[in-house]
Every structure is written in C-alpha cells, then in structure tokens.
Amino acid sequence: MKKLILAALVLVGLTCSAQKATEKETVVVIKTSMGTIKAKLYNDTPQHRDNFLKLVNEGWYNGSPFHRVINQFMIQGGQNADGRLDPGYTVPAEFKDNHFHKKGALAAARQPDQVNPKKASSGSQFYIVQGKVYDDRWLDMFESRSGKVLSARQRQTYKTIGGTPHLDGDYTVFGEVTEGLDVVDKIAAVKTGNMDVPVEPVTIISITIEKSCCH
C-alpha cells in the first residue's frame, strides 16, 4: 500500500511538473491599419502581462496611434485614442536576463531615470523592437563602453536577427512578436515628422486575446 501511495505521489508530481513546463502563454492579436501582428506575453513578467490584458479587455488601445516610430529602432504605441498618455499609474520593473531586446521584443516604455530611478514602466505605453543587426566589433565596443556583458545567446541573436542591445536591463521586456514582423518593418519605414510622429497616422484598430491558459 505504501508503495502504491508513493507511486501515486510521484505520478502527481511528474504531472504537475509537466503541466508547468508546457504552461501556455497568452497570445494577443494586434490589428493595425498596416496589417496584423501577433505576440505572446511572458508568464514570468506577470504584472506586465496582467496589466496589458486588463487594458486590452477595457479596449484602451482600440483606435489609438503608433505615436513614435524610428526606423531600425522601434515602433511605440499605448496612449489612449482620446489622447491620454497613460492610465495614471506605473508598473514595477520586471527585468529578466532571459528576455532581451531582440527584434520583435514587446517591451514597456517608461519615464527617464532622473524622475524614475526604479525604472517603473508606464501603465500603458509599449514598444515593439525593430532594431538592426550588429557585428562582433560593434558588440565588443558596446560592452566596453557600457559595462554590460552580453550572454552568448544575446550576442548570437544580435548578430543574426538583430535588436537594440543598449536597452537591455533598463526597460522591461514582457513579450515577443510571433507573427507579423513584416508589419513591424512596414510601420517602422513610414515617413515621420516632428517628434518621430508618422506623417500619415498608423492606427491600432484593436487588440484582442487569442488564447489564455494555465496562469
């Protein structure tokens, strides 16, 4: 009997471990005036994930613009369609070494260090990284000047798909694009004017939740 109970406990433990290992991440569908982008939200940045989903459910982003676009850097959105820049609160930073600013990274914008030393994120503003590809020489120089040390994974990623390494460790990355990197490229390439605002508006028509499980 004891052996049977022990075996059952082991089986339950293995099942729980397997469920945790296969824990699904929420996927959101960002429908824009230039195409559709899909992104998954990381489970290990739960405060950013849950806040983003809260705003999605409230319709905060519907009809709002990508109000700052810089080619080979990023596209930024998140202010409300009625012009409010954010909902009036911040989200504590959730930095994870395994999440960095590769192309397609979904990250939270924030106020600068001078007024925000804890690097708390905006309650709603986000950006999607486009970035560019770097070579070893540039990355070596970056490490030397910044004092940051890139992991082998970061270095390989920045040399292949690209990104914005200088943002690592300063802004919370809470998801990544799974489909629609071509749309990110299209938006990043639009003509911009003062303050990097697109001359022809690029609009987030809606953001919806495709699936969510096991949080």
Averaged pLDDT score across all residues of the chain: 91
| Residue-level pLDDT at 7 | 43
Q: Which residues pair with 26 in a beta bridge?
A: 41
What's the gap between Cα 198 and its chain centre?
21
Q: What is the pLDDT of residues 87-97, one digit of tens each?
A: 999 999 999 99
Question: What's the angle, vertex CA 178, arms to CA 81 and CA 187, rounded to 5?
Answer: 45
Tell me: the pLDDT tens digits for 39-51? 999 999 999 999 9
Token pair for residue 164?
Answer: 């914005």
Using the predicted structure, report yes or no on whether residue 64 has a pLDDT greater than 90.
yes
**Which of the pair, 102 or 15, is modelled with greater confidence?**
102
Count CB-CB contacts under 10 A for residue 208.
Answer: 13
Q: How confident is the model at residue 212 (pLDDT cuts 50, 70, 90)?
A: low
Contact 106, 175 (CB under 8 A): yes
Q: Please count the residues of the chain.
A: 215
Average pLDDT over residues 177-183: 98
Coil vs helix vs strand at 184: helix
Alpha-carbon distance of 120 to 112, in angstroms, equals 9
Q: Amino acid identity of 178?
A: T
How confident is the model over 106-146, as pLDDT tens digits? Answer: 999 999 999 999 999 999 999 999 999 999 999 999 999 99
Percent above pLDDT 70 for the chain: 88
